[in-house]
Amino acid sequence: MAITKPSVAEVNKYLKKWAGLTHYVEQDKAIYLLFKTFPKNDKLDEVISKACCVNGFYSTNIYDIYTISQHIIDLKIDKRLAKNDLTVVNDIAKCKMKNGKIKEFYSFATKYCSHCKDDVYPIYDSFVDKMLCELNKLYSFSTFKRADLKDYVKFCGVLNDLKKHFGLGKFTLKEIDMYLWQAGKDYFSKPYKKPTSKTKATI
């Protein structure tokens, strides 16, 4: 299925579609309420609560919430968030686990920061990644390699390039994210294949 060229009408179409996804909208509102209730990131119990909600809603597959939450506390991110420091995302993403290994939770970090300030910190996920790469192949709206999207400063630059190239300046980064994520699901979700006699469904 060919990807429709980004436009104001196309983004508005997906924003209208988002408004109809009640279960997503209400759960997302609940997370924002939690972040508004606990705006600081210097108390472990509050950060754990917020990290749990982000991890659960977005299925970011973090199984050691305590360690990532303590990592956020140790980074002292509040002053950096106040200054709109984009580099804080990659710092949150790289977390030393109990076994001493460094694991990267990039998608989680973008979502955590987005719920702190969604007008500054857009969300990265696999569908957004695929949409940006495919749109760039079709329309050459920016200069980047796929790996650049895991550098948050460059990722934000690519999104701003997209907004400028396609005349989408009226939309916030949050709205652009909502468009890219939904469009990505439409274009790149793998269709379900009914198991045959040679393949067994897994539970």
Q: pLDDT (tens digit, 9 = 90+) per residue, 38-66?
A: 999 999 999 999 999 999 999 899 999 99
The average confidence (pLDDT) of the chain is 92
* pLDDT for residue 196 is more than 70: no
Q: Is the pLDDT of residue 202 over 60?
A: no
**Percent of the chain clearing pLDDT 90 (strictly above):** 88
pLDDT in the model for residue 195: 45
pLDDT for 190 equals: 67
Q: What is each CA distance from 48 to 34, 52, 95, 193, in whole angstroms?
A: 11, 6, 15, 38
Contacting residues for 11 by C-beta, under 8 A, at least 6 apart? 168, 171, 175, 176, 179
Percent of the chain whose predicted confidence (pLDDT) is above 70: 93
pLDDT at 25 over 50: yes
Whether 110 contacts 152, CB under 8 Å: yes
pLDDT at site 54: 96
What does the pLDDT read at residue 192?
Answer: 36
Is the pLDDT reported for residue 194 higher than 50?
no
Whether pTM > 0.85 for this model: the answer is yes
